[in-house]
Amino acid sequence: MRVLVTGAAGFIGSSFIQRLLREKIDVIGVDNLNSYYDVKLKHARLDLFRQEPNYTNYELDISDTIKLQDLFEKHQPEIVVNLAAQAGVRYSIDNPSEYINSNIVGFSNIIECCKVNKVRHFVYASSSSVYGANTKLPFTTDQNTNHPVSLYAATKKSNELIAHVYSHLFGLPTTGLRFFTVYGPWGRPDMAYFKFTKAILEDETIDVYNNGLLSRDFTYIDDVVEGLFDVIKKAATPSIHWDPKSPNPSNSNAPWKLYNIGSSSPISLIKFIQTLEILLGKEAKKNFLEMQMGDVHDTFADIKSIENDFNFKPNVNFEVGMSRFLDWYKNFYKIIN
């Protein structure tokens, strides 16, 4: 099996590649190593596996149509997992072109290459952000997602729609995974758990939005990777129950499917901070602020669909997951208590 993974130097991408390589699967990794956050961290992730004999690395931007086409023609991947994207809800407010270029143009290039090269299964990262202005919890994949509240969310919703077109017109099996706040060792420095850890350890103030009245469905990286590993092996198929007069937004008469992948155990922002304080043995200095543009109040994943189809079950609770992250953080940044 040959698997092409974009976003190879990213948090989820690098963790997923290591899982594939443990199974002796041939992996082609693609990443543009942009400077949205610390490039040294991205290189450190790649160093974990770039010398593996079953791994081939490319520094390449997926918006580069010609180079991407050449790569597909050379390697003829059987499965493609698109984890490359310009991430971050708040960054999208001031830098919209970055999101259009990577998340729309780049995504379109990838899926077109999948079509041309007859890829068996195209799996891609969507996001819990697509639920936008919805407030009915938990979020289920049969809910309407037509009211995004950030450009980032809109690009992820666009990915789902583009994938459906390719599944419908060309029979390309596509599966979208709506990730819910993935965290853990080797994580992203722009995420709250990472930023808060750094600030608390350095006696800096943390910004607590909406006065702490928020919650997130934190999902540990190893649980996400296992779910993703199972999903790639089973290509999406047309739903025999799909009714065009009352269409389900998560499946289709085309080989197209959407799943939530979360812990289904949301944590309030206040409890999240308290957990950090306990694990670090240090109280946070808090700056309470109003709700920030682009944010949603709560996320909570209904995961029955992926449980039923893949026996997905998150195994790592938040306290254990954060403890593992903090151990990694202190080791990576050489922090001595």
Give the contacts of 293 (CB within 8 A, at least 6 positions apart). Answer: 90, 93, 150
pLDDT on residue 213: 87
From the list 105, 231, 73, 257, the residue with the least C-alpha distance to 168 is 257
Helix (H) or strand (E) holding 164: helix 151-170
Catalytic residues: 152
Burial of 337 (0-12, 13-18, 19+ CB in 10 A): exposed
**How many other CB atoms are there within 10 angstroms of residue 171's CB atom?**
12
Instruction: Determine contact, residues 252/167, Cβ cutoff 8 Å.
Output: yes
- The Cα 30–Cα 130 span in angstroms is 25
pLDDT score for 214: 92
C-alpha separations of 154 from 132, 147, 158, 227 in Å: 9, 8, 6, 24
Q: What is the mean pLDDT of each run of 10 residues along the chain (337 residues)?
A: 97 98 98 94 98 97 97 98 88 87 96 98 97 95 94 95 98 98 97 95 93 93 98 97 94 98 96 96 92 86 98 96 98 88
pTM flag (> 0.85)? yes
Enter the tokens of residue 109: 């290039």
Look at residues 217, 229, 232, 208 and name the one whose alpha carbon lies nearest to residue 291: 208
Predicted local confidence at residue 289, as pLDDT: 86
Residue 171, SS3 per DSSP: coil
pLDDT for res 337: 64
Domains of the chain: 2-332 (3.40.50.720)
> In the prediction, which pLDDT does 64 show?
96
Q: Indicate the residue type of 215.
A: S
